[in-house]
Structure 1
Amino acid sequence: MKRRVARRLQAALATLALAAATGAVLSAPEATAATAGATGYATQNGGTTGGAGGQTVRATTGTAIHAALCGRATSSTPIIIEVEGTINHGNTSQVSGGSCSTAAGVIELKQISNVTIIGVGSGAVFDQLGIHIRAASNIVVQNVTVRNVKKSGSPTSNGGDAIGMESDVRNVWVDHVTLEASGGESEGFDGLFDMKDNTQYVTLSYSVLRNSGRGGLVGSSESDLSNGFITYHHNLYENIDSRAPLLRGGTAHIYNNHYVSLNESGINSRAGAHAKVDNNYFEDSKDVLGTFYTDAAGYWQVSGNIFDNVTWSSPGTDNNPAGPNPQSNTTVSIPYAYTLDAASCVPSVVSRTAGAGKG
């Protein structure tokens, strides 16, 4: 298992953090590390810029994040919210206003648009507190850690999802984040990165997802097929039981990710989903690609992947593993430009660049 070496944030981001007084509202530059450079499907449908061009506000509590959203002129006024410190239930209250719809115990990005949340300074940790994106568009979340969000036990937040999207969500870019749990459903946790109920044009890049029963899903059931156009690239999935991701319908582009210790299954394409799976490195894992736990078939196009100590189960009524010699059973057209790293380089590239605190 590769060791992850901590890196400093980009010099410009550190300078901005030092310059911003806590709670102050500053004039933001036209482009910052948080608002420039979306990739993948988040570049489509008009693109994803978050709060670019808006004011910059510093927040050290969840209540301050909500207050920044509620203090805008309208629900679509661009804003960049720099977050530093630990955000938890004790400092996250509901705030009311005409430009927001918030709730206690969760970071609520509901019925809003044009928002960036970025960790700065010594870092931002959302501890047992999820980020809920609902009926929202043009959202950027960058350089934060979200950990140990529970759906049962105490405290609970966001249905147990570290980051969850639902109800007509469009254009979200989640980048350089660390999402982690401390177990599976029996310990009270759910998904790390979930999308449902008509969520489209999302990219997850340069992020770490680890120590969870469920990595994430696209579609909450076999009938929730309105989601799609998701890109996953340069992410580390480590010690995940399943759903890396689970795709119910829709289209996903999955490239240059490093998968380590997928304990039960990995990319689960089902219910008509189409996945383009390019130049990933799968290591010490089981059933890393296929249709699992259903007879509703999904599809995949594969190229350039490395399967290092991967085991495969036998096909059955509810299991159709793609291996031991994965072959494409569909073709997927990708509408944006991208550059592939060689799969052999992926563990090194991802260990240097993925997760919160790494530029």
Structure 2
Amino acid sequence: MSLLLLLVVLTFSKCKKGSDVVPFENQSDLTEAARGNGSIITGIKTINVGSAVSDGGFSYKVINIPGTSDSGNSPSVSTLQVFENGKALGPAHAMHADIRDKGKGLFSHWSGGLYFSASDNTDPRSNGRTYTYSLDGSGNSAITPPVTPPITNPEKPGSGTAAIGFASVDGKTTGGLGGQTVTVTSLSALKNAVESSSALIILVSGKITGTGYLNVKSNKTIQGLAGSSMEGVGLMIYGSNNVIVQNMTIRNVVTYSNIIIKEGAHHIWIDHCDLSSDRTHGWDYYDGLLDVGKRADYVTLSWNRLHDSHIPMLIGFGDENTDDIGHLRVTVNNNYFYNVSERQPSTRFGYIHVFNNYLQNGSGYGIGVTMGATVRTDNNYFENQAIPIFTEYNAKPGYVSGAETNIYANSKANRISTASSTWTPAYEYKSVLIAAANVPAVVSAGAGATLAR
């Protein structure tokens, strides 16, 4: 019996690292190189993260990784280096329990396969990053990271003439600048203007009523004059680019959201708008107020007043929309949410920066972070919120950073189930960041259709 026990111990010591490795199910599919008998592969090779499977916690495993891998007898023989968007991960040769529990880029090349974690513990299958490896010491994968570069816009952020954040990254959002200025007072005139193929600055005067939506084309500025409003008619920005919507009051749009940005639309700035419906008709009568999805990108939503709605802001329309990975880079700043239920905003898949927002009287959750979304929060003020930040209500959670910078007044605890992300946006915003304690006064006074023009 003692001999049998010894054989069992020896067998498991050779098969497992740290007594916690789940064996690969398809060992017969491994090539000779993957078993450690092949020649060294030179240069940088891409890891097929689409084939990765969860190994529990922050660990993911990929089979058929060539080269000499670690084993029970040689626990540090592998020369494998792993890169995330060109930046080396590690340390290598990590214990598998640590990869699962700690993550943060730890990895192990073991028995022909790779056990690894993302640098910020996001899911590498859905975080939009490229993972590569080398076996010969090559150390530069030449992959361009999706991290946004600093703004090169010469206009000062926050000056009112340039959008802060993603709408000013990798290009400018200037709307109809350089085009003709037209003033519209009817639905038909507004429709003709927004659907024109020309660059236009469109000034909306008076009260415009109707149903349905207007399809906004590229290179447009739509700006409401003092006292103007749209009743029952939404703005749809489908596949367009370089659009500014400012100082618009839009109410009670049935079937559609008040403003929708989707189908690959990019460089969109929604600023100083007043968007509302009501909460007396039930959850299914109205849609949202300001929604972004379906591969939209480089969007800034700033200084808007969103109120009297169950579901005011959605970024990422469905768990099944995995083609949003690598898109949905959205800045949400200085908005005032009040008398709402949830979605302040709700997020999926993207990289979203949420700062200096005032979230008041939310009966559900405030900021929802799911399906691998990465959300940085800075100096938001949560007041009377049932769940200020929530990660668990869709199929998978997302990742949050900066939660400690917010103020939570008369609110319950956050429900964040994932480790804190290390992501921060690369653009400059610190010069316009205001103290969280001052957010209610500043934002409630300045948000909405408050521009003089």
Gaps (5+ residues) in structure 1?
1-32, 90-103, 152-158, 314-320
Q: Distance in 1 between matches of 2:332 and 2:419?
A: 19
Q: 1:134: which partner in 2?
A: 238
Kindly indicate whether the alpha-carbon contact (under 8 Å) linking 2:194 and 2:214 is maintained by their aligned counterparts in 1: no
2:201 is the alignment partner of 1:80: yes
Which residue identity does 2:214 align to in structure 1?
Answer: I
TM-score by length of 1: 0.76
Q: CA deviation at 1:250?
A: 0.6
CA-CA distance at 1:295 after TM superposition: 3.9
Q: What is the match of residue 11 of structure 1?
A: none
In the alignment, structure 1 residue 61 sits paired with structure 2 residue 186 = yes
Which of structures 1 and 2 has the bigger CA Rg?
2
TM-fit CA distance, 1:328: 6.1
Aligned to 2:258: 162
DSSP 3-state at the match of 2:173: coil
Aligned to 1:253: 353
CA–CA distance in 2 between the matches of 1:55 and 1:37? 20
Q: Within 5 A, what are the aligned runs for 1:303-318?
A: 303-312=404-413
Superposed, 1:231-270 pairs within 5 Å as 231-270=331-370
Identify the residue that residue 203 of structure 1 maps to in structure 2.
Answer: 300
Q: Deviations over 1:286-340 (max 9, x none)?
A: 1110213224010000142100000138xxxxxxx139xxx96111131211131
CA 1:136–1:65 in structure 2 vs 1: closer, same or farther (change >3 Å)? Answer: same
CA displacement 1:113-161 (0-9 Å, x = unmatched): 11000011x332111111111110000000011111112xxxxxxx2x0
Bigger RCO (CA 8 Å, 6+ sep) = 1
Query: Deviations 1:263-296 (Å, cap 9, x if unpaired)?
Result: 1111110000000000000001111102132240
Q: Root-mean-square deviation (CA), in Å? A: 2.1
Q: Quick one: distance in 2 between partners of 1:329 and 1:247?
A: 16
3-state SS of 2:188 partner? helix
Cα contact 2:383–2:410 (8 A) shared by 1: yes
Cα distance in 2 for residues equivalent to 1:266 and 1:292: 13
Aligned equivalents of 2:300, 2:266: Cα separation in 1 = 11
Give the structure 2 partner of residue 337 of structure 1.
Answer: 428
CA distance in structure 1 between the partners assigned to 2:273 and 2:178 by the alignment: 23
Aligned match of 2:212? 105
Alignment gaps of 5+ in structure 2: 1-157
Task: Name the one with the larger strand percent.
Answer: 1
Q: Secondary structure at the match of 2:300?
A: strand
- Alignment match of 1:123 (pick from 227, 231, 253): 227
Q: Any idea what the Cα deviations from partners look like across 1:191-211, whole Å, max 9, x if unmatched?
A: 111112111111111110011
4+ residue runs of structure 1 moved beyond 6 angstroms?
none
TM (normalized to structure 2)?
0.61
Q: 1:68–1:81: 8 Å Cα contact kept in structure 2?
A: yes
Identity of aligned residues (%): 34
Secondary structure at the counterpart of residue 223 of structure 1: coil
Q: Aligned-pair distance for 1:69?
A: 4.0
2: CA distance between counterparts of 1:246 and 1:186? 16
**Matched position secondary structure for 2:202:** strand
1:142/1:173 Cα in 2 relative to 1: closer, same or farther (>3 Å)? same
Match for 1:322: what amino acid? I
Aligned to 1:154: none
SS at match of 1:264: strand
